[in-house]
Chain A
């Protein structure tokens, strides 16, 4: 079965750090670009970061640039998001998603999504 399973969410204080993981199964993980997308409570979808299939190219939304780092371990079929200097406005459900075509971000659509993991930034 093709699936993505996120983990690592939780409650963290402002200024703190958290690392999210996304475990992939059922497809050739290294062949596809991956992204993190977040959704604040009651708000719309916001793309956060993307990485190429090889891991050699990364992209970030301006809102997280310099604070978040995306990476992947193709030997473990796992995507990561290291989040530092967290702010209250980073509170959201974080989804990982896989593109349906090609290893370069922007080549395809997000055909596979995880169930999401909640990150709450609060003192």
Chain B
């Protein structure tokens, strides 16, 4: 079955750039989606199909995907960006797969 690997936690200083990685075998050949989830709330889509932002998501959120790693980049990090972030792909054998999630802390 296909697996996605994310770091458990990432810390970033206020105003700096955070990068959250998502590793998977040849993930560059798949469409990667990213979700933000704050405590007690449903997940929110922040990046779809590798690098596209839904309406209402700040330009500070961007994504890339190549080789075995996809990356969610949050520029000029704000306190309100503190949340859990999940990557997701569709695999033809496993169907939908989520990464384990990364807790982002803004210092």
Contact = CB atoms under 8 A, between A and B. Distances in A.
Interface in B75-91: 84, 86, 88, 90
Interface residues of B, number: 23
Contacts, number: 59
Interface string A89-123: 00000010000100001101111011110000000
In the complex, which range does the number of interface residues on chain A fall in?
Answer: 20 to 34
Given A100-B48, A105-B90, A110-B33, A47 B95 contact: yes
Interface string B46-74: 00110000100000000000000000000
B45 A46 contact: no
A35 B45 CA distance: 15
A26 interface: no
Given A106-B90, A111-B45, A113-B43, A44 B101 contact: yes
Interface of B: 1, 31, 33, 35, 37, 42-45, 48-49, 54, 84, 86, 88, 90, 95-101
